[in-house]
Structure formats: C-alpha cells, structure tokens
Amino acid sequence: MEVLQAAGDLDSHAATRFAESMRTRFVQTANVVVLDLSRVTLLSTAAVVALLEARHRGLMGDTALRLLTGNRTVDRLLALLEVADQFAYTDSVETAAEASEIRLTPTRSLTPTTSS
C-alpha cells in the first residue's frame, strides 16, 4: 500500500504540479493507494480532474485508490461536482491497511512547494 499526502491550497496553479506529482508517484505495483487530503485547505476543479485521472489510472492498473478526506472543503466540492460517488473512501490509513491486510509504506508528500 502506498500512502500519498497533500496539504494546503490545491488551486488551479498548484493543481498542475499536484497532477504531475501523482502521476510520478502513483505506484502501479501497489494494490492500494491512499491519498490523504485531510490537510487540504482549498481544492480547485483542476485538482478534482487530477483526482479523477488518478482514479482512472488506478482502474487501468488494478490499483484501488482510497481517499482520506475528513475535510469539509474537499468533501463539499466533490459532492457539488457530483463526483464524490466516483471514489472509495477510508477513515484512516490504518483502516485502509487493515482492510487490505497489507503492510504500510512511508507516507509521501504531494504538497506542491510554492515560491513567495
């Protein structure tokens, strides 16, 4: 299982880097990828497109994508865009690991760095 974490603002500018990061870090050999969005403070529609792309990549590579949200910002936008039901969710990384009966790998950060 691979755990990826994003935090901060995933606005339209950061969404491009977010999508590129997910493409390079989405491990095709992992059977489950947990994407922790619990620390995201802003989610753009471009970032939602990147999430949908990751879901599609997972389906094509037999990798289950699980979102860890617990975040009104993320949950509300996914619901408003009527794509929330496209994703599988988990309450915690530990719950996802138990459900998958697999060993955790270290969490990787997907948070784009911004220059001020």
Domain layout of the chain by residue ranges: 2-109
Q: What is the pLDDT of residue 71?
A: 87
Q: What is the pLDDT of residue 28?
A: 60
Q: What is the pLDDT of residue 38?
A: 94
Q: What is the pLDDT of residue 111?
A: 55
Closest CA to 93 of 67, 112, 113: 67
**For 27, phi and psi rounded to 5 degrees?**
-80, 115
Q: pLDDT tens digits, the chain, 116 residues: what are they?
A: 888 899 999 999 999 988 888 887 766 667 888 999 999 999 999 999 999 999 998 888 888 889 999 889 999 999 999 999 999 999 988 888 777 655 444 555 665 544 44
Q: What is the pLDDT of residue 115?
A: 42
Q: Look up the CATH architecture of domain 2-109.
A: 2-Layer Sandwich (3.30)
State the helix-helix crossing angle for 72-80 and 45-60, rounded to 10 degrees: 80
Residue 81, C-beta contacts closer than 8 angstroms, at least 6 positions apart? 45, 48
Q: What is the pLDDT of residue 67?
A: 95
